[in-house]
Structure formats: structure tokens, C-alpha cells
Structure 1
Amino acid sequence: MVLTTRRRVVTTLAAALAGAVAAPAYAEAAERSDRSARPQPLRRAHAHNDYLHERPLHNALAHGFTSVEADIFLVNGDLLVAHEPAGLDPTRTLRSLYLDPLLARVRANHGLVHRGYRRPVQLLIDIKTDGVAAYLELDRQLRSYRRMLSGYAYGHVRLGAVTAVVSGDRTARAPMEAQPVRYAFYDGRLDDLTAAEPAPASFIPLISSNWTQSFSWLGSGPFPAAEREKLRTLVDTAHADGRRVRFWATPDAPGPERDALWLELLAAGVDHLNTDDLAGLETFLRVHDH
């Protein structure tokens, strides 16, 4: 796998996007961006169920988050964002809540989502139903935004301002894996770390797992030594393969248990801390993650 340098990616991306918009309008937007106080981006902050916040995406970015999660359903040929079918609203599409606002940020910030932050921001897209059909529509939509997206083409990965990662319905894996060119990557599971022939990090750059299925400790009392060793072994194995790690279903109610577990995740090198409490995780990481 060959990775282009981030500097080259950002330069190329900014140049490509500049041609698609009127320069004066985006120069003015960039100046406004400079004048407004922006928080330092938090490389480990992941907004779980981000779309449930008052201002999806925007609230998370305002707190410095660098990873957000959106659940999608395929409805009448479009991708709607909701936690469950009862919450579906035809105005809340993946394009309107995430893709278009991200593109606007990237254009205003000279090829970056967070000004000065040269790593890709992760958009984790959880397909709730109709895995294959939903992915094919997602792939069709992502191609319209390819200039801002990380992509894979014939064995090579090019990093962009935004990296889309597909999670949820596992039937989406087969059509993704068969594509010689794509603009999304796949969210793996712990089994992918021990597979006889593991998929490369160019396909599975992220490993996600339900914390409670692998660990009994929920932050109260000492972390069992065997579980601490298991956690660090999992993270080290993933990192050795060039993959990042995220756990969901960790304690998320404010209190000492949550802080204790988050501290252990940081100590083990877990890449994304999962939360619905944007302000709580921001405060924690600004104190503890250096």
C-alpha cells in the first residue's frame, strides 16, 4: 500500500476544490474562520450517534471532535439519517447533514475540515438495513464528493480531508471488497485481527468492538490485570497492522467510573474514545490527552 504525503494531499485537494467555487466568497469565509476562535482538534474524540445532537456535525466540530458517526437507512433511493425507522425524516439526509457541510468546511479551510489539522476527519457511516443496496447508493453519492475524500484505487490509498468508513450491516463488505476504486473503507471487528488471511489496512483501517463483549470491567474498582493486558495486546496488534481501534458500549454517564475507563483506554493507546457527551469528553481529553 502506498500512502501519499499529507502535505501533497492537502495541496492537491485545495487546488482542486478552488476551481469549483468562486474564489472571493471562499476567501472571505476563510478570513472569518481565522477571526473566530476554534478549539484545538481532539484526535481521539468520536461523536457516537452524532445526529442526535441539536446541530449534527457542527456541535461535534465546535467541541474539536475529529470523528463523527451517522446511522443511515435507504429510503426511496436516498440515504436518510436516523437511529431507528420511527425517526426517519426525508429532510435529514446524509448529504444535507454531513456531506454538504463537510464540503463547505473543506472549501473554506483550504482543504481541511479543522483549520491547521492535517489528518483526515473520520465519517463513520453505520448502515442499519439493506446492506448491499444501501452501500451501492452510498458509493454513488460519495463519488460526487471524491475530491475531499480519502480513496482507494488499485492498491493505493490517497488521504483526503475526510475518510468515510462503513460500519453496521455486514453484507456491505462483499461489494466493497470487490471494488478496484472506492471512496470508503470498512469498519472491522476483533475477528479481523486474527483471521487466517486478514484484509489489509487499505480496506479495514479501523477495528471497532462492543466493550462489554470482551471486558467485564466498567470502571469501578481496579482494572483486572488480565483484562488490562488483553486490551493492550489487542491495541498493539491492531497498530502493528496499521489499524485504529474504537470501542462502543463503554460507560458514558459522567462520573469516576467513566473517567477511570477512559484513562485506561488512553493508556492502552485506543485511537477513538466513544461518547454522546461532547462537552464531557472534550473536557477530559484537554486535561489528560497530551
Structure 2
Amino acid sequence: MPGGVEDVREDTGLLTLTKSGIVRRLTRPRLWVLLGALLCFGAFSSMCWFFLVLWLRQRLSPAFPNSGYGQILEQWKAPSPKGPWLPTLPQELGGDIIPVPCHSHNDYWRPVPLYGALAVGYTSVEADIWLDSDTNRSSDLLVGHSRGALTPECTLSSLYITPLVQILDHQNEGQDAVAPRVGVYNLEPNATLVLLLDFKERGADLWELAHEQTEPLRQKGYLRHWNGTDLVPGPITIVASGEAAFDLVVSNTTYRDIFFDAPLEKLVVDDRYNWTNSYYASSSLARAVGTPWLGRLSTSQRSTVELQVQAARQRGLLARYWGTPSWPVSTRTAMWRTLVSLGVGVLNVDDLIPAGLWNWDWCVVAGVSLCG
């Protein structure tokens, strides 16, 4: 061999350099040892990361409010053909819940409609309503996102009206007949809960039936209403959205207890909407200000939001944007923070617990979503 150096000719591994600068090849056993060590290190690191995330979630997760609504979540049963399931209500129903200005979007999709939002402190819930195509049940308003998803058991009455009457009867037990009615939360008894009805069909038939279905709340004095001159507070505020007709909302010029969801982006050019006939002023974020670039509002878009929020406030309305980014979690949470800082009246939410209970500063830590 040249220079007296042994010429290694095995073609069994990766090239490497010795201290003398001569290139050698790793033998197959040494290669597998190296790969095995790398795999073990990777598995150990992944396991440590996994347990770190679990530990962070446990340490940073907010305590669930102590309330009777939370107890109901564990017992709840879906409505049956026999009617709605009504729980035995605990004495301290509202517990230590602090109400938050959040709207439970498509609330009927929750594992536990209504009670789930109340357990977190939400002040607004949403139900999409339809006429029943079965003439034998024509007095029922069905609740669901699409007509194909409707079932005869899930009605406005079974999911919302009857449970709300039970809750408010419990909260107002022993109250004087002429005393103001208290609401669903003990810590803020004067807070109103919005029941937003998203009308999925046009026409007077749906409007008239919605008015009929809310009568149990009306009879007991639970509805916030306008008496022709002033607003009279109440524990429940009904808001008509979607395909609801504004003309039907204002058809009664001396009394209203179903308020309109005004078009937010039109407030600057249309003066019909105000506190006597509307409650929310809403729009999809994209329609109102344009699609956010990478989930962030530009300076111009932020200015537009500020102007729209101000227009709503001047009319005594709460601004609401729907269709906000929902993923990734960092983008979703940043948009929540932006909208709140710009003064929106209520936050439209799909993720109940992260929005209502979490400290948003801890939702994403080191790139890991903890409150998704």
C-alpha cells in the first residue's frame, strides 16, 4: 500500500475522517448504534415535550366557575319526543360566575346547549330557527344549522324557552310580583341574557311563530322591551337576525320586545336603526372591513372598525363581528384581543372556554397551543 497505510475497501457505511485525515467508512454495526442513539434521544425529547405541555396546560388552565350550571352539565340529556329534559335546579344556580360579553355562536351545536354557555358566563346565545315542514307539528320552531340537520325533538321551546323559564322562575322565587325580575347570574342580577334568533327563512309566518313561541317569557315579565317611550330592562333580550325582516320588527309603534340585528356596515348611511328597534349591529368581518391579511387587521381596517363601533355606540347598539379567524390559535386569540381593544360590544365565539375563562396571554406558549 502507498505510504504504508492500510487501504480499507469495505463499502459498508458512511465516510468519515480520522485524526490523521484519512477517510474511513463506518461499519454497519457502528452506523446502527448511531442511528439507534439518535432515535432514542428523539423519543426521549418528544416525551419530555409532551409531558411539559401537559404540565403547562394543567398549571395554566383556569378554574371552572363554581355554579349550579356546571353541575347541570354532568346530568344533561337531550330533548326526547316526550319533551325537554329539565333538571332539578341547585339552590345556588348562578354561583360565582362573572358574566363576560361573549356570544355563543351556533350554541345548539354545543355538547350541552344553553347551560354550557351559562356555566362559562356568556351573555348571549344563538339559535337558528326554521318552520317545521310537517303540518302535524306546525306550531314548533325547529333549531339547526341546515334543514337537513333538523329533528322534531330539537325545538326552540325544548332547547331554550322552557329551560329559560325554569331558570328565571327559580332565580325570582319569592320576589314581589311588581319587583324587577333578576337574571341568570347571581353576581350581576341585572345583566340581560341575549337570545339571538337567526331566522333561516323569510316571511311573516316564521316571525309570527317566533313571537308565539317566546310568549312564556313575555307573560312572566322576563323580556326586555320598549314601551313606546323608554326601554324597560329585563333578564332576557330577544334579537332577530338572519332573514328576519326589519319592517316586521318595527310594525308595532308602541311596544317591542323582539329587537333587530342591524347591519353594522350600513349604519353610517342608514339612520333607521337605533336603540328603540335594534340591539346588536352585526356584520361578517370580511364584508365590513375586508379579509384580514394573515389574520391581522391593517391600519386602514382598524380605522374602519373604530368608525363602525363608534356608529353603533352613537345609536345605543352593540357592535358584533362574525366570521373571524378561528385557526391557528395564535391568530384567533390575537383577533379577539384586537376587536376588544377597538371596543366591540360583544365577541362572537366558537370556542367557549378559551374565550370566556383563559388568560389569552397564556393561550400559546413557545409555539404550543394550550387553550385550543
Matches within 5 A, 1:132-171: 132-146=204-218, 147-170=221-244
Q: 2:108 aligns with which of 51, 55, 62?
A: 51
8 Å contact kept, 1:251–1:257: yes
Report the aligned-residue RMSD.
2.2
Partner of 2:200: 128
Write out the 4+ residue segments of structure 1 that deviate beyond 4 Å after TM superposition.
284-288
Kindly indicate whether residue 184 of structure 2 is the aligned counterpart of residue 113 of structure 1: yes
- TM-score normalized by structure 1? 0.81
> Secondary structure, in 3 states, of the residue corresponding to 2:214?
helix
CA deviation after TM superposition for structure 1 residue 221, in Å: 7.1
Partner of 1:31: 91
- Structure 1 spans left out of the alignment, 5+ residues: 1-27
Aligned mates of 1:103, 1:219 — CA distance in 2 = 44
Instruction: Rate the CA distance shift 1:142–1:222 in 2: closer, same or farther, 3 A.
Output: closer
8 Å contact kept, 2:185–2:191: no
Aligned mates of 1:195, 1:215 — CA distance in 2 = 16
Partner of 1:69: 126
1:49 partner amino acid: N
Aligned mates of 1:221, 1:200 — CA distance in 2 = 31
Q: 1:263 aligns with which of 329, 333, 337?
A: 337
CA deviation after TM superposition for structure 1 residue 136, in Å: 0.8
Larger mean Cα displacement after TM superposition, 113-122 or 60-69: 113-122
Larger Cα Rg: Structure 1 or Structure 2?
A: 2
Instruction: Rate the CA distance shift 1:143–1:181 in 2: closer, same or farther, 3 A.
Output: farther
- Structure 2 spans left out of the alignment, 5+ residues: 1-87, 133-137, 173-181, 363-372
Structure with the bigger RCO (C-alpha within 8 Å, sep 6+) is 1
1:177 partner amino acid: V
8 Å contact kept, 1:30–1:108: no
8 Å contact kept, 2:265–2:283: no
- Structure with greater proportional helix content: 1
- TM-score normalized by structure 2? 0.64
Partner of 1:22: none
1:205 partner amino acid: Y
> Secondary structure, in 3 states, of the residue corresponding to 2:336?
helix
Aligned mates of 2:296, 2:327 — CA distance in 1 = 19
Aligned mates of 2:168, 2:322 — CA distance in 1 = 28
Kindly indicate whether residue 158 of structure 2 is the aligned counterpart of residue 96 of structure 1: yes
Aligned mates of 2:255, 2:239 — CA distance in 1 = 15
Identity %: 30
